[in-house]
Structure 1
Amino acid sequence: MGFDIEGLDEFKNAMIDLMKVKFPEELEREIYNLANRIWVKVKKRTPVGVYKNGHSGGDLRKNWQIGNLVREGNGYYIEVFNILDYASHVEYGHRTRLGKTDHPHTYKKRGTIDFVPGKYMLKISVEELNKELPGYLSSWLDNVIKEHGL
């Protein structure tokens, strides 16, 4: 059993537009908070290499960064990115030459091309945040409304 209240989504959108005009600092702070949530999620999902000599890597995990907030037209955007050149290979997957892999028992004969599947650590983190976003933004908006007596 449920019911619809017409205009609720429009009201929320109008409130966010009002936030852009009346309280831009709070909106920008919240955008940074959301970028930080993605940053934390993606760092946790980023694999760390373990080498044959027993040492472990971690450079890929350490090099996730949050860019500057950019206002463009009516909206904002911010980037979460990794500065290492091989980050996209780990994210999306890549082929290997000569069939070399980290697992010697799967080594293939010379000239074989194999594919290492991606980990999709950023994609999964963004999708996860998108699922949480409606409830998160609703509660944030409620707090702002109470705080400013709107």
Structure 2
Amino acid sequence: MIKIDTKGLKQLKNNLEEAKAYAEELAKEEVNRITDRHLARVVKNTPAGDSPDSPTLKNTWDRSGVITTADGVSAEVFNPTDYASYFEFGHRQKPGRFVFIELTPGAEKYGQRAREITKGKHAGKWGIFIKLKSPFVKGRFVLTDSEAKANKELEAAAKRISKKIQEALK
């Protein structure tokens, strides 16, 4: 009869479970920090225009909490404003069409001072009418650019976490 001492294997199993819990905690902390920086960059790089609605885009950027899934740890930065995707990626428009740009009273844009509109569907609002010239408005890519920086930060964080886990297992 052969006896095998399994104490070493049980100790290794316990060490690995502790290292896994430690790694998950470190990952959550890093993702939380990186997501906060990502959100701050996006808000900082989103311009607020002259329109009364312009601050809406800048002020509605938000983030989710840190979520643990089977794939790992994640968090999301998003903007629920309906025109956020047009701002981010650009959009088409029909040249020659006149559009109303709502402005705050006294504001000036494109060399025209805002005035109160007295007739039509914009009656009672302040703004200007402009003729569209370009068939496409370029996107600003504030979220995309910040995501690229966040991904680099995540790669560096993964290396740091891996190094800490290796040190903990020694």
TM bin, normalised by shorter chain, reads 0.5 to 0.7
How many residues align structurally?
A: 127
- Return the TM-score normalized by structure 2: 0.57
For 1:127, the aligned partner's letter is A
| Partner in structure 2 of residue 78 of structure 1 | 75
For 1:122, the aligned partner's letter is L
Q: Report deviation, 1:136.
A: 4.8
Give the strand-richer structure, 1 or 2. 2
Structure 2: gaps (5+ residues): 1-16, 102-108, 112-129
Give the alignment partner of residue 107 of structure 1, picking from 131, 134, 139. 131
* Aligned mates of 2:54, 2:82 — CA distance in 1: 15
Identical columns (%): 28
Q: Report deviation, 1:120.
A: 0.4
Q: Report deviation, 1:135.
A: 3.9
- Tell me: higher relative CO, structure 1 or 2? Use CA pairs within 8 A at least 6 residues apart: 2
- Post-superposition CA distance 1:105-133 (Å, at most 9, x none): 8834xxx7721110000000011223344
Q: Report deviation, 1:19.
A: 5.3
Say which one has the larger Rg. Answer: 2
- Post-superposition CA distance 1:47-84 (Å, at most 9, x none): 21124xxx683211111111122222141221110111
Q: Report deviation, 1:86.
A: 0.8
SS of the aligned residue for 2:54 comes to coil
* Aligned mates of 2:57, 2:19 — CA distance in 1: 36
Q: Report deviation, 1:101.
A: 8.6
* Aligned mates of 1:127, 1:133 — CA distance in 2: 10
| Partner in structure 2 of residue 89 of structure 1 | 86
Q: CA RMSD in A?
A: 3.5
